[in-house]
């Protein structure tokens, strides 16, 4: 058994004189005497003071940045600035050496781009310690939110043979021998002998299966990995990302918006209550970063103010049609500063438009509803106007779309007609259609992109920095 004291506990401990053992990784070693040691339990390091005159030189030389050591000694009140307690070490053991010539993390500020290349080691920085603690807290909060409300956590498949949701390009899953591809008589790839006996993919969303669950269990949610093979090299897209998808029976679009707003506020509040040190650290980090920017580009609110603001204000709710009117009349549209000029009703909104609405016009989170059916999925409930569907997108400052969802089409004839119009194969989705044949009911749901949420709460600017090992075009390292 290995016993040790966690640094987080010791920093709050006032039992001076007690014997303690800490284990962790050396951040810095100064004057042959002062070790700043981190064990990941908190952002701060603890200072370990060595009695270097009584320690062999050969041991001192092995205390290098990145090395893992164990220190045993007395907890004392610190006389130095910046820390409350320190450890007067009596014994030091080297657990794992680290060659200082080769260890890439030096005790200085590294760029996020550089750290992305050494993602296996970036956990050891304060920034990523904070980001991944907050990521954990948010995931935990998602589960408690739904659990408190009686939702059932449902595991939807990751491998699927239906490619009809149309949410994005899919990754193929196959065991076909690429050197010997089986072909049908007309030259197509023959999947009959493939592992699943048909073409299979990684899922883009668990929604369709979640709907099956909701139509029996009432309220379900998924929280799992989803995959999109789009070639989007942006700061907001990943090829592998995590999505939270609640699906609720006997709910309409308004219920759906209320649930989404409550969820976002709950998890943000949870992070504020449970990660104060991490958020404080990231807030300061962001202020530091922004010092290099021209005044006009700096945020009006700091990270904590931004999160509080989000909690204390109702999200602005308006229809797509109202948003188009605002955008058409907006300065950047009139002056042709948008890359995509809004000519009229029907245009798909680009992230520049979404961000204008949120950041410039309303200056708060926005829920847009009732989009044209042409730019939305087949399963969204059709409105009486014959033009729009009961869709909703939630737009966040600095992020753009964070949630996409809708009330679902529960009427068999409307659904199948729309599938026909959109060339969605009905045989393949017979199980989805069956739900409308056997006890159909109004229901609604949405998908929250987990990394976009983490991005918002941490104030990081690139989605690749809020997931441990990001997957994006030409990158699947680690
Ligand atoms: O809007 P999307 O494509 O909606 C769906 O997949 C629905 N089936 C959800 C539902 O109604 N159950 O994706 C939902 C959210 C987006 O709002 C965004 O936050 C996130 O997933 N998202 C991505 N996040 C990171 N990288 C990507 N490539 C993403 N694509 C979507
Ligand atoms: Mg969407």
Give me the pLDDT at residue 300, please: 84
- Cβ-based neighbours of 49, under 8 Å, separated by 6 or more: 33, 34, 35, 86, 87, 88, 89
From 230, 241, 448, 457, mutation site for ligand 1 pocket: most ligand atoms within 8 A of C-beta: 241
Looking at the predicted structure, is the pLDDT value of residue 299 above 90?
no
Residue 255 three-state SS: helix
How far is the centre of ligand 2, averaged over its atoms, from the C-alpha of 405 (Å)? 7
User: Cα 461 vs. chain centroid, distance in angstroms?
Assistant: 12
Contact 87, 49 (CB under 8 A): yes
Cα 47 to ligand 2 centroid, rounded to whole Å: 48
The conformation of residue 381, written as its DSSP 8-state character, comes to: P
234-243 mean pLDDT: 96
Where does 58-190 show beta strands of DSSP type E? 68-77, 85-96, 152-153, 159-160, 172-173
**Alpha-helical runs (H) found in 341-411:** 351-355
Rounded to an integer, the average pLDDT of 29-57 is 95
Q: Where are the beta strands (DSSP E) in 297-348?
A: 316-319
Neighbours of ion ligand 2 (CB under 5 A): 404
Q: Which atom of ligand 1 is nearest to the CA of 394?
A: 17
CA-to-CA distance for 382 and 373, rounded, in angstroms?
A: 8
* Cα of 290 from ligand 2 centre, angstroms: 30
3 state SS of 55 = coil
- Predicted confidence band at 390 (pLDDT cuts at 50, 70, 90)? very high
DSSP 380: B
pLDDT(207) > 70: yes
Residue 83 has pLDDT above 90, yes or no: no
- 28 has which bridge partners? 36
Measured from the Cα of 393, ligand 1's closest atom is: 17
**Alpha-carbon separation of residue 378 from 390, 391, 430 (angstroms):** 11, 11, 14
Best mutation site among 230, 260, 399, 452 for ligand 1, i.e. most ligand atoms within 8 A of its Cβ?
452
Task: Please state the length of the chain.
Answer: 478
Cα(338) to centroid(ligand 2), Å:
21
For 321-373, the pLDDT digits (tens) are: 999 999 999 999 999 999 999 999 999 999 899 999 999 999 999 999 999 99
Ligand 2 centroid – CA 403 distance (Å): 7
Among positive and negative, which fits the CA dihedral 416, 418, 423, 428? negative
Q: How are beta strands 172-173 and 200-202 bridged, if at all? A: antiparallel
What pLDDT is recorded for position 297?
81
Domains of the chain (ranges; CATH) run 7-106 (2.40.50.140), 124-151+267-465 (3.30.930.10)
- The mean of the pLDDT values for the chain is 95
In this prediction, residues 73-83 reach a mean pLDDT of: 87
224 contacts 447 by C-beta, under 8 angstroms: no
Average pLDDT over residues 233-250: 97
Confidence tier at 167 by pLDDT (50, 70, 90): low
Give φ, ψ of 251 to 5 degrees: -140, 145
Closest CA to 93 of 79, 73, 108: 73
Are 122 and 115 contacting, i.e. CB atoms less than 8 angstroms apart?
Answer: yes
The pLDDT, as a whole number, for residue 475 is 93
- The share of the chain scoring above pLDDT 90, in percent, equals 91
Edge-to-edge strand ranges of the sheet holding 240-249: 152-153, 219-227, 240-249, 443-449, 400-407, 388-396, 366-372, 316-319
Residue 189 sits at φ, ψ, to 5 deg, of -65, 130
- Outline where DSSP puts E strands in 97-197: 152-153, 159-160, 172-173
pLDDT in tens, 116-142: 999 999 999 999 999 999 999 999 999
Counting atoms of ligand 1 from 1, which one is nearest the CA of 232?
A: 28
Atom of ligand 1 at shortest range from CA of 204: 6
CB of residue 455 inside a 6 A radius of ligand 1: no
211 pocket-lining for ligand 1 (C-beta < 6 Å): no
Helices within 12-119 (DSSP H only): 57-60, 112-117
The pLDDT score that the predictor gives to residue 80 is 76
Cα(286) to centroid(ligand 2), Å: 28
Distance (Å) from CA 393 to ligand 2 centroid: 7
Q: What is the pLDDT of residue 164?
A: 64
CB-CB contact of 170 with 229 (8 Å): yes
Higher-confidence position of 142 and 289: 142
Q: Is 295's pLDDT higher than 90? A: no
Q: How far apart are CA 9 and CA 41, in angstroms?
A: 9
Going by alpha carbons, the residue nearest to atom 9 of ligand 1 is 447
Contact between 324 and 350 (Cβ < 8 Å)? no
Distance from Cα 223 to the centre of ligand 2, integer Å = 17
* Sheet of strand 172-173: strand arrangement: 159-160, 200-202, 172-173
Q: Which atom of ligand 1 is nearest to the CA of 168?
A: 3
What's the confidence (pLDDT) of residue 84? 87
- The neighbouring-strand residues paired with 407 are 444
Kindly state the average pLDDT of the residues 393-408. 96
SS3 of 124, please? Answer: helix
Average pLDDT score over residue span 167-195: 92
Least-confidence region, from 216-220, 285-289, 406-410:
285-289
The structure's pTM equals: 0.96
Determine the atom of ligand 1 nearest the C-alpha atom of 463: 25
How far apart, in Å, do the first and last CA atoms of the chain sit?
Answer: 31
Residue 314 has pLDDT above 70, yes or no: yes
């Amino acid at each position: 058994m290995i016993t040790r004291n966690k640094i987080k506990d010791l920093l709050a401990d006032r039992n001076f004189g007690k014997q303690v053992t800490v284990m962790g990784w050396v951040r810095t070693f100064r004057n042959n005497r002062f070790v700043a040691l981190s064990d990941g339990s908190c952002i701060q390091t603890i200072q370990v003071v060595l009695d270097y005159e009584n320690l062999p030189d050969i041991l001192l030389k092995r205390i290098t940045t990145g090395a893992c050591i164990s220190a045993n000694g007395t907890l004392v009140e610190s006389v130095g600035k910046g820390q409350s307690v320190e450890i007067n070490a009596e014994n030091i053991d080297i657990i794992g050496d680290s060659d200082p010539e080769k260890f890439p993390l030096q005790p200085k500020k590294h760029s996020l781009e550089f750290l992305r290349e050494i993602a296996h080691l970036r956990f050891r920085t304060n920034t990523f310690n904070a980001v991944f603690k907050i990521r954990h807290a948010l995931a935990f909060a998602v589960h408690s939110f739904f659990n408190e409300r009686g939702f059932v956590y449902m595991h939807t498949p990751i491998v699927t043979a239906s490619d009809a949701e149309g949410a994005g390009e899919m990754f193929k899953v196959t065991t076909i021998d690429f050197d010997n591809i089986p072909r049908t008589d007309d030259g197509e790839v023959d999947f009959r002998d493939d592992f699943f006996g048909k073409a299979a993919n990684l899922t883009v969303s668990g929604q369709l299966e979640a709907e099956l669950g909701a139509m029996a269990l009432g309220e379900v949610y998924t929280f799992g990995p989803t995959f999109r093979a789009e070639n989007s090299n942006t700061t907001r897209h990943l090829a592998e990302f995590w999505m939270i998808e609640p699906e609720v029976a006997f709910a309409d679009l308004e219920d759906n918006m209320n649930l989404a707003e409550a969820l976002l506020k709950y998890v943000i509040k949870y992070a504020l209550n449970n990660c104060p040190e991490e958020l404080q650290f990231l807030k300061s980090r962001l202020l530091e970063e922004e010092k290099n920017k021209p005044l006009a580009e700096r945020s009006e609110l700091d990270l904590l103010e931004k999160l509080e603001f989000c909690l204390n204000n109702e999200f602005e709710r308006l229809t797509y049609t109202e948003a188009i009117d605002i955008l058409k009349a907006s300065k950047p549209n009139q002056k042709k500063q948008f890359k995509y000029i809004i000519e009229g009703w029907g245009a798909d909104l680009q992230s520049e438009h979404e961000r204008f609405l949120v950041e410039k016009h309303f200056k708060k989170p926005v829920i847009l509803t009732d989009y044209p059916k042409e730019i939305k999925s087949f399963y969204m409930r059709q409105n009486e106007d014959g033009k729009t569907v009961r869709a909703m997108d939630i737009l966040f400052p600095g992020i753009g779309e964070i949630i996409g969802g809708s009330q679902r089409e529960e009427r068999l004839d409307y659904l199948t007609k729309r599938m026909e119009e959109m060339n969605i194969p009905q045989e393949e989705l017979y199980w989805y259609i069956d739900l409308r044949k056997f006890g159909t009911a109004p229901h609604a749901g949405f998908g929250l992109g987990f990394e976009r949420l983490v991005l918002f709460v941490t104030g990081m600017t690139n989605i690749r920095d809020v997931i441990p090992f990001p997957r994006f075009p030409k990158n699947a390292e680690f």
